[in-house]
Structure 1
Amino acid sequence: MLFYRAALPLSRKTLTFVAGIIRRHRASIGSCWRKLNPGQQALLVLAHLRKGETLAELAAGFGVGVTTAWRYVNETVALLAARAPKLRRAVRDAKKAGYAYVVVDGTLIPIDRVAADRPFYSGKHKKHGMNLQVIASPGGDILWVSGALPGSVHDKKAEWIWGVLAELEAAGLVTLADKGYLGSTYAKIPYRGKNKPESQKQANKAHAKLRAPAERANAQLKNWRILRKLRCCPWRAGQLAKAIHVLQIREA
């Protein structure tokens, strides 16, 4: 087997942050000696999330077993995800920040599934995956990420399950969304139909222009290669996205 050095496009403060969480967790549970110290464990997990390195490759590189690498990743992801802001807190913080509006959007996390798994198949994207709902600021910063639902669940139903628009309406935050949220009585969505009058066409252009920067929040999640195609349990998509959200906050 060959070994080589590689760069990880993350800051030192992120590594220190994750290592600190692991160190405090080990102290709280009275963990004894481990093969990797908190800093090495943090680096292993970050490489897995950011670059999508397989557990077998990481295990070989760090000199541990595959099962140990799996356990380190699961432990750290759970610790990070627990720090992700809850919906009510995220909406409250957005209100306090004075944003002119927020954007609600859905994204599909592709998964490694066969055609027989219909509940995971998204007709919109023509692939199997998990539906995540994201609230973003006008500048494209992620404010909140939902848990995971099967890809067959429509965006409008997904936001209803999580109570996203109800919470935003209660806070009085102006909310923009795409046509996937048709039927919402609160979110501002584009006009539909052919042969629209010029006023509606201009309104749709303005709507798209306001929404475009915020929709890059989903691209930020996909910058972490682990979310480009999940090869683990599909239901872990939400926890992974929440952990990545916490790391994005540290990187900002």
Structure 2
Amino acid sequence: MTRFRRALHGSVLGLRRAVVAVCKYLRTNRTQADITEEFGVSQPSISRAVTLFIQAVAEVLADLVPTLEEVPTDTALLIDGTLMPCWSWRTHPEPYSGKHHTTGITLQVICSVTSDILWVSDPLPGNTHDVAALDAHTILEGRDPSQFIADKGYTGRGMTTPQKKPAGKPMPEGIKNYNTQINQLRWPVEQAIAHLKTWRILHTDHRRPYTTFPTTIKAVLGLYFLTT
């Protein structure tokens, strides 16, 4: 943060206003042009503050973000993948998600049955399937997979998931009821993700270069765990 203060030395925006402006940017995902107009400074001033502050926050608050090793192994857990949308870049085709029919990067979120976020993965390209993400992040390594309650995207890994409809047959009532119960149990992770995405930079298109999005997410996670 000292580096951020030094970098803004002499800026017409000033340290305090720069912090407020960038927090508004992350919280609302308003365009930099819109924020520029509100604060009465040039667009390059806002852009510079955004770049510097996001990097500083990601570094300073990194220790507040839980690691996978801190996730308990003796209780039921909920897991789900979520897409953080971004602009489409011709030089980066990998963010396109066929499931969501848009571009973005995907995160795995583990939370408690009471909707407390316990861990958020590093981002992967939007075309990464949930099961592939399990392997990429070694989430199940050293854990009982039945500890996790998840959706059908995680079928086949020993996790507690809804059952699929038998091929060519109607869904038995017993399985329907079972699936309803599993989906009700999964509701807290959906609520937790929705709460995380009240930081609108994670909910609506990230407009800065694709390569800056992972650092933006780290900064938001730091702020999220700082304030929860």
Aligned pair in 2 of structure 1 residues 149, 229: CA closer, same or farther (>3 Å)? same
Output the amino acid matched with 2:28: K
Quick check: 1:178–1:190 contact (8 Å CA) kept in 2? yes
Q: Any idea what the Cα deviations from partners look like across 1:185-240, whole Å, max 9, x if unmatched?
A: 3x322211243444433322221111101222221232222221111222333322
Quick check: 1:103–1:215 contact (8 Å CA) kept in 2? no
Q: Which of 136, 156, 178 is residue 151 of structure 2 equivalent to?
A: 178
Give, in angstroms, the shift of residue 45 of structure 1.
Answer: 0.8
Q: Which of 101, 106, 113 is residue 131 of structure 1 equivalent to?
A: 106
Residue equivalent to 1:3: none
Quick check: 1:105–1:178 contact (8 Å CA) kept in 2? yes
Quick check: 1:136–1:215 contact (8 Å CA) kept in 2? no
What is the correspondence of 1:44-193 to structure 2 with a 5 Å cutoff?
A: 44-82=21-59, 83-84=61-62, 89-95=66-72, 100-113=75-88, 118-166=93-141, 169=143, 174-185=147-158, 187-193=159-165
Give, in angstroms, the shift of residue 74 of structure 1.
Answer: 1.9
Quick check: 2:68–2:139 contact (8 Å CA) kept in 1? no
Quick check: 1:86–1:144 contact (8 Å CA) kept in 2? no
Q: How does the TM-score come out when normalised to structure 1?
A: 0.75
Give, in angstroms, the shift of residue 173 of structure 1.
Answer: 8.6
Aligned pair in 2 of structure 1 residues 139, 55: CA closer, same or farther (>3 Å)? same
Residue equivalent to 1:8: none
**SS of equivalent to 1:129:** strand
Structure 2 residues without counterparts, runs of 5 or longer: none
**SS of equivalent to 2:104:** strand
Q: Any idea what the Cα deviations from partners look like across 1:91-120, whole Å, max 9, x if unmatched?
A: 444429x7x322211111222217896422
Residue equivalent to 2:226: 250
Quick check: 1:133–1:158 contact (8 Å CA) kept in 2? yes
**SS of equivalent to 1:130:** strand
Aligned pair in 2 of structure 1 residues 92, 118: CA closer, same or farther (>3 Å)? closer
Give, in angstroms, the shift of residue 86 of structure 1.
Answer: 8.6
Aligned pair in 2 of structure 1 residues 214, 234: CA closer, same or farther (>3 Å)? same
Quick check: 1:134–1:145 contact (8 Å CA) kept in 2? yes
Residue equivalent to 1:4: none
Aligned pair in 2 of structure 1 residues 219, 161: CA closer, same or farther (>3 Å)? same
Structure 1 residues without counterparts, runs of 5 or longer: 1-21
Which of the pair is proportionally richer in helix?
1
Over the aligned positions, Cα root-mean-square deviation in angstroms equals 3.0
